[in-house]
Structure 1
Amino acid sequence: MEKHSVAICFVHHAIAGLRSRGIAPEPVLQAAGIAPALLAVPQARVSSASYSALWLGVAAALDDEFFGQDSRRMKCGSFAMLCHAVAGSRTLAQGLERVVRYFRLLLDDIGVRLEREGVGQGEAEGEKDGSEDPARRGRRAALVLAATSDRAPGVFAQETMLIMLHGLMSWLMRRRVPVLLAAFSYPEPPYAAEYRLMYSRHLAFDQPATALVFDAAWLDQPVHQDERSLKAFLRDAPHNVVVKYTDRASVMARVRRQLRAQAPEQWPTFDRLAHDVHMSPSSLRRRLMEEGGTYQQLKDEMRRDLAIEALSHSSRPLAEIAAELGFAEPGAFHRAFRRWTGLRPGAYRATPAQA
């Protein structure tokens, strides 16, 4: 599983439902390995494993797997039953239509519909045999969110729904389904850069509706999951829903694979990296910029997430972690970690929840 980190703003969102119901969030945060003191640090991040544990903790405390974001509770066990309902689908289209119908039963305030260009309703619902029509190649499909009551869904409700939908899509296909465009009905939030990892490199705000747009050809693809593989998926949920599958086709994913195969102190120079991925340095630089990043940014993000994972879930000495991450001396690691998260590594680990 990928070792990503999650911005502290999403921790604030996740515990808002606890606070609105008068439940103290501190015990739930500590049980997830998240220090409550981190809430006061705007740049702070937590490991994806800790955020997944928080998801489960909040769900258990509220008996609601939707964080209290809807008028009706999505009771614990609902997501597992949803996965059972879609695991035997013939095609992704049929699976997504089952998801659409299931959410109509689970939630009152937010719904989702599947749209596909130039396709009748019966076909969009996966009623046909799933064979691919070449005439439809290149067309777009979308999962579109909509309010289904007088209570408009908040930003976090929409974010949570998109994470669930994309996670389910990617699981059904056994790979991350590329999102061509993630559109949002609300203004761009201060943490919008996180969306590029969560949803897509291509974002649009202040749109008529919140939606994930993808190539319609995916809808005709056969589902690669069944009841047997479902058990493994649920065993790792919600971590595998939060992190999802990597977009293996992107240049960034190729670079990350190259870096993960080596210890950080052995990471190649940019020119050597370009040679390793069979691209010229100028082409690699351009492609990375098109995908919203640079080589240095990728190295920093991977070191940051590896550091957060080590500090959150191990007791190894800071000097050892610094050396493992490729820093020549601990002071450089301390400065970099503070730049990434707003805290020195010792202070991040010193709080009671970081054990």
Structure 2
Amino acid sequence: MSNLTVSRHFVEAALMGAERAGFNTRDMLQEAGIAPDLLKIEKARVNSDQFSRLMQVLWTCMDDEFMGLGPRQCRAGTFATMCALVIDCPTLEAVYRQAFQFSRLFEPMVSMELRVKDDAAQLVTAIEGDISDPQYFMRESLLVIWHRLGSWLIGQPVELMKAEFDYPCPAHGDEYRHIFHCPLAFDSSRTALTFDKRFLSAPVIRDRSEMHQFLKTSPADLLSRPDESNTFTGRIRTLIGRDFSRPLPDFEWIASALHTSPQTLRRRLKQENTSFQEIKDLLRRDMAIYYLGRQDLPINDIASKVGFTEPSTFHRAFKKWTGVTPGAYRGGERQATGGE
């Protein structure tokens, strides 16, 4: 099971094109294991498995990897064809250049262009034609997929120095902190990701059989499951683990386990737009949401599983995270699991 969750906002944004095209989005949600009633809860979240399934349902039903948000249809299988083309590239730079050339074969073009200046490399969004993307989901997906595909191919996360967007900070802008783990700039002249150009010379380490496995769940998994193994946030999540019934390690212990000083770790977490307290809170929230999906588990048991000695404290914290009580949240989820 995955202990990561995705905001309800992204679920609704992903469905916008399908809705506009007249598809039955309630059926799509249920096929992905998401209860439509859950989306009535403003701060609801789904787990990353459900979100991955929803992406696959959308691409298959619509036969469009742009999900009705782009300037044209992008037939299912286009991403897989691009991957088959770039797997033989020697380096990350060659991957991004080849992928751009592939994208240019389609008109109007939707792509990311690699630009290099001094020590910095940039992936800049290149979209021709009119798009119907009021929630920015297609543009966000483009950035995330190209970044995470590159990271996967070279076997290490490409650390971002900056993410910039040519639109104002959206209402869900706070989610960007946990997607990009780097300084963010809105109302910029471009939509782009900046990283150290040393990553461009990293060799592609994946082979065709690994690519075949990878494509069974991609690019859906790239959107819902960030590889955080190279971020301090991800490493701390791993060190804390999933067993909240025992005392959690303190910040000093975490810092020494990561071979750094508490001051340096605090500074690095600030650069990643988070804090130790927030990492613990979000882990607890994600685990609570996961356990609430298991209808057999009493809510008081879930409270102790996620580290609360008093059920009332858990109820208060959960309401702060999601805007509703654990019972109301479970009620919203019930429909997808066949309960009444």
TM-score normalized with structure 1 length:
0.86
1:225 to partner: Cα distance: 1.0
1:101–1:216 Cα change, 3 Å: same
1:288 to partner: Cα distance: 2.8
Return the match for 2:225 from 213, 221, 243. Answer: 243
Find the counterpart in structure 2 of residue 147 from structure 1. Answer: 127
1:93 to partner: Cα distance: 1.1
Q: Is the 8 A contact 1:179 1:200 kept in 2?
A: yes
Aligned length: 334
1:339–1:150 Cα change, 3 Å: closer
Q: Is the 8 A contact 1:311 1:354 kept in 2?
A: no
Deviations 1:180-214 (Å, cap 9, x if unpaired)? Answer: 11110101112112112212321111111101111
Matches within 5 A, 1:53-202: 53-106=53-106, 108=108, 110-117=110-117, 139-151=119-131, 155-202=136-183
- 1:343 and 1:354 map into 2 onto residues whose CA distance is 20
SS in 2 for 1:316: coil
SS in 2 for 1:326: coil
1:117–1:153 Cα change, 3 Å: farther
1:279–1:174 Cα change, 3 Å: closer
Q: Is the 8 A contact 2:243 2:305 kept in 1?
A: no
Percent identity between the two aligned chains? 36
SS in 2 for 1:105: coil
Find the counterpart in structure 2 of residue 229 from structure 1. Answer: 210
- 1:83 and 1:312 map into 2 onto residues whose CA distance is 35
1:36–1:73 Cα change, 3 Å: same
1:347 aligns with 2:318: no
1:80–1:51 Cα change, 3 Å: same
- 1:261 and 1:312 map into 2 onto residues whose CA distance is 16
1:152 to partner: Cα distance: 7.7
- Between 11-20 and 268-277, report the one with greater CA deviation: 268-277
Deviations 1:84-142 (Å, cap 9, x if unpaired)? Answer: 11112111111111211222335625332111126xxxxxxxxxxxxxxxxxxxx1111
1:5 to partner: Cα distance: 1.0
Partner AA of 1:141 in structure 2: A
Partner AA of 1:64 in structure 2: D
Partner AA of 1:326 in structure 2: G
Deviations 1:150-174 (Å, cap 9, x if unpaired)? Answer: 5586522211111211121111112
Q: Is the 8 A contact 2:181 2:271 kept in 1?
A: no
Deviations 1:235-285 (Å, cap 9, x if unpaired)? Answer: 33222443131152x332332221027545331233443444444444443
Partner AA of 1:327 in structure 2: F
1:92–1:21 Cα change, 3 Å: same
Q: Is there any run of 5+ residues in structure 2 with no aligned partner, and where?
A: none
- 2:148 and 2:293 map into 1 onto residues whose CA distance is 25
Question: What is the CA RMSD across the aligned residues, in angstroms?
Answer: 2.3
- Between 187-196 and 306-315, report the one with greater CA deviation: 306-315
- 1:221 and 1:105 map into 2 onto residues whose CA distance is 26
Return the match for 1:304 from 267, 278, 285. Answer: 285
Q: Is there any run of 5+ residues in structure 1 with no aligned partner, and where?
A: 119-138
1:151–1:5 Cα change, 3 Å: closer
Deviations 1:33-77 (Å, cap 9, x if unpaired)? Answer: 222223232211111111111111111221112211113212122
- Between 228-237 and 200-209, report the one with greater CA deviation: 228-237
1:37–1:153 Cα change, 3 Å: closer
- 2:261 and 2:252 map into 1 onto residues whose CA distance is 8
1:315–1:94 Cα change, 3 Å: farther
- 2:277 and 2:177 map into 1 onto residues whose CA distance is 17
- 1:319 and 1:172 map into 2 onto residues whose CA distance is 43
Matches within 5 A, 1:194-273: 194-237=175-218, 238-248=220-230, 250-260=231-241, 263=244, 265-273=246-254
Find the counterpart in structure 2 of residue 25 from structure 1. Answer: 25
1:175 to partner: Cα distance: 2.1
Partner AA of 1:29 in structure 2: L
- 1:4 and 1:259 map into 2 onto residues whose CA distance is 14
SS in 1 for 2:293: helix
